[in-house]
C-alpha cells in the first residue's frame, strides 16, 4: 500500500502565510504588532529548542515575541508575579509559560501558573475557562498541538466526520483536547491510555489514529487498520544508535544525523507502519511545525479580540 505523507511543514507554512497579512493589518491599525510573552524557567534543553522555534517563527510572521528566561531556582512566587505583570500589560496579547517547570518547584506549580494567566491571554488554551469552552464545543483558544492536528487533517483533506478516530493518550495538553476536537468534528472517538485492555484491538479499528504517548516506535503495523490516516504526535529525543538502528534500519540517513548531532527526535509510530497506513505524519516535520503555527494564530485571535473589546 502506498502511504501518503501528511506534510506538517507545508501546512504550517500555509497557515503562517495566511496569518501574515492579518498580522500586518493589525500592526497598522494598532501601531504595534500582536504580542506574545513567553516565560521559560530553567535550562531544559528540549524546552529551550521549542522556545527558540516559537520566537523565530513568531518574528518571521510579524509578531512581537518577548522571551523572559529565568534560572531554574526562581521562586514560584516570582514566576506568578511576572505572569500578573503580563496580564496587566496592555501591549501584551498572549502569554505562554513553557512546560515543564523545574521539578524542584511546588507539585502544583503548573496549575498555579496556568490559573494565574488571564484567560483572555491564555494562547496555549490550558486555563480551565478555555478548557471548558473546548468541552462545550465553542473553543476560544484550543490547545495548539491538537488544533494543529485538526488543521493538518483538514489541509491534507482527510475526512473526519463519521470516521472512527482513536487517540492514544489522555493528557490535558494533547490527548483529552484532541479527543474533544475530533468529537466536535463529528468523529466517533475512542480514547486509549496505559490501562486500556487490548489496545491493538481498538487502534486497529481506527480510520484516524492519533498517537500521543512519548514512546519511540510504540505504534506497530499490527495496531493499524490498512489505509488509516496516522498522526504521530510523539516527540522523544534519543541518543542510542542501537535503538535508532532498530527503528530506522542500519543504513538510514537518520543514523548519520544522530552521529553528527548526538541525538535525534523520534515519534511514537514505528516507520514500518508506512507499509500499512494510507497516510502518515512524519517526525520531525509533522505536528511540531503546526503546533507553533496554531500558537501564532491563537495570539492573533487574542490580539484582535482585545482590540474589539477596546472599541466596544
Ligand atoms: P504525557 O502527559 O506523558 O501522556 C502520555 C499518555 O500516554 C498518557 O495518557 C498515558 O496514559 C499514555 N500511555 C503511556 N503508556 C501507554 C501505553 N503503554 N499504552 C497506552 N497509552 C499509554 O505526554 P503528553 O504531554 O501528552 O505528550 C505525549 C507526546 O507528545 C510526548 O512525546 C510529547 O513530547 C509529545 N508532544 C509533542 C508536541 C508537538 O508539538 N509535536 C506537543 C506536545 C507533546 P496514562 O494517562 O494512563 O498514564
Q: How far is CA 48 from the centre of its chain?
A: 15
- 134 pLDDT tier (thresholds 50, 70, 90): very high
pLDDT tens for each residue of 83-127: 999 999 999 999 999 999 999 999 999 999 999 999 999 999 999
In angstroms, rounded to a whole number, what is the distance separating the alpha carbons of residues 113 and 76? 8
Higher-pLDDT residue of 2, 190: 190
Q: Return the CA Rg of the chain.
A: 20
In the chain, pLDDT over 90 holds for what percent of residues? Answer: 98
pTM, entire model:
0.97
Question: How far, in Å, are 56, 65, 158, 292 from residue 59 at the CA level?
Answer: 5, 6, 31, 12
pLDDT score of 307 more than 90: yes
Overall average pLDDT of the 268-275 stretch = 98
Task: Give residue 169 CA to ligand 1 midpoint distance, Å.
Answer: 5
Question: Which residue's alpha carbon is at the smallest distance from atom 22 of ligand 1?
Answer: 194
Ligand 1 pocket test: pick from 143, 210, 213 the residue with the most ligand atoms within 8 Å of its Cβ. 213
Q: Could you identify the atom of ligand 1 that is nearest to the CA of residue 196?
A: 20
Distance between CA atoms of residues 126 and 134, nearest Å: 10
Question: To the nearest 10°, the Cα dihedral for 299, 300, 305, 307?
Answer: 110
Half-sphere exposure of 208 (CA within 13 A, CB side): 31
Say if residue 196 is exposed, middle or buried (CB neighbours under 10 Å; 0-12, 13-18, 19+). Answer: middle
Q: What is the Cα–Cα distance from 111 to 10, expressed in whole angstroms? A: 34
* Residue 121: predicted pLDDT: 98
Q: What is the longest distance spanned by two Cα atoms in the chain?
A: 62
Exposed e or buried b per residue across 291-301, where buried means at least 16 C-beta atoms within 10 angstroms of its C-beta: bbbbbbbbbbb
The closest alpha carbon to 303, from 121, 133, 124, 127, belongs to: 121
Atom of ligand 1 nearest to the CA of 283: 41
Q: What is the per-residue pLDDT for 47? A: 94
Quote the CA–CA distance of 5 and 7 in Å, as a whole number: 6
Name every protein residue with a CB atom under 6 angstroms from any ligand 1 atom: 145, 168-171, 173-175, 192-196, 199, 212-214, 233-236, 287-288, 291
Question: What pLDDT, on the 0 to 100 scale, is given for residue 73?
Answer: 96
Looking at residue 231, what is its pLDDT?
A: 99
pLDDT, tens digit, 9 for 90 and up, residues 21-71: 999 999 999 999 999 999 999 999 889 999 999 999 999 999 999 999 999
How far is residue 273 from each of residues 10, 145, 204, 251, 282, measured CA to CA in Å? 22, 22, 12, 18, 11
Pick the closest to residue 218 from 257, 173, 174, 168 (CA basis).
168
**pLDDT, the chain, mean:** 97
Residue 1: pLDDT band by 50, 70, 90 thresholds? Answer: low
Candidates 193, 197, 231: which one to mutate for ligand 1, based on the most atoms within 8 Å of Cβ?
Answer: 193
Cross-strand pairs, 232:
211
Among all residues, which ones are annotated catalytic? 54, 98, 124
Is pLDDT above 70 for 212? yes
Amino acid at each position: 500500500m502506498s502511504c501518503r505523507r501528511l506534510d506538517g511543514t507545508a501546512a504550517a507554512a500555509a497557515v503562517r502565510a495566511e496569518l501574515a497579512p492579518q498580522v500586518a493589518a493589525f500592526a497598522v491599525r494598532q501601531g504595534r504588532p500582536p504580542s506574545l510573552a513567553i516565560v521559560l524557567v530553567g535550562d531544559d534543553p528540549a524546552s529551550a529548542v521549542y522556545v527558540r522555534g516559537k520566537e523565530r517563527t513568531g518574528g518571521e510572521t510579524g509578531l512581537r515575541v518577548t522571551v523572559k528566561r529565568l534560572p531554574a531556582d526562581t521562586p514560584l512566587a516570582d514566576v506568578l508575579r511576572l505572569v500578573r505583570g503580563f496580564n496587566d500589560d496592555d501591549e501584551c496579547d498572549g502569554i505562554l509559560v513553557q512546560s515543564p517547570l523545574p521539578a524542584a518547584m511546588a507539585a502544583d506549580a503548573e496549575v498555579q501558573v496556568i490559573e494565574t494567566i488571564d484567560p483572555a491571554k491564555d494562547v496555549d488554551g490550558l486555563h480551565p475557562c478555555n478548557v471548558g469552552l473546548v468541552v462545550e464545543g465553542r473553543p476560544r483558544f484550543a490547545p495548539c498541538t491538537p488544533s494543529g492536528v485538526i488543521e493538518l487533517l483538514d489541509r491534507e483533506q482527510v475526512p473526519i466526520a463519521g470516521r472512527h478516530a482513536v487517540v492514544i493518550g489522555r493528557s490535558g495538553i494533547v490527548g483529552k483536547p484532541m479527543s474533544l476536537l475530533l468529537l466536535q468534528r463529528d468523529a466517533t472517538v475512542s480514547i486509549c491510555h496505559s490501562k486500556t485492555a487490548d489496545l491493538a484491538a481498538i487502534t486497529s479499528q481506527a480510520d484516524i489514529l492519533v498517537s500521543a504517548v512519548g514512546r519511540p516506535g510504540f505504534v506497530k503495523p499490527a495496531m493499524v487498520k490498512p489505509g488509516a490516516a496516522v498522526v504521530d504526535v510523539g516527540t522523544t529525543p534519543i541518543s542510542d544508535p542501537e535503538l535508532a538502528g532498530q527503528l530506522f534500519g542500519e543504513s538510514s540517513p537518520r543514523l548519520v544525523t544522530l552521529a553528527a548531532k548526538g541525538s535525534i527526535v523520534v515519534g511514537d509510530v514505528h516507520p514500518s507502519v508506512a507499509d500499512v497506513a494510507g497516510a502518515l505524519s512524519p517526525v520531525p516535520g509533522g505536528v511540531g511545525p503546526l503546533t507553533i503555527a496554531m500558537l501564532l494564530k491563537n495570539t492573533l485571535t487574542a490580539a484582535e479580540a482585545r482590540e474589539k473589546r477596546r472599541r466596544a
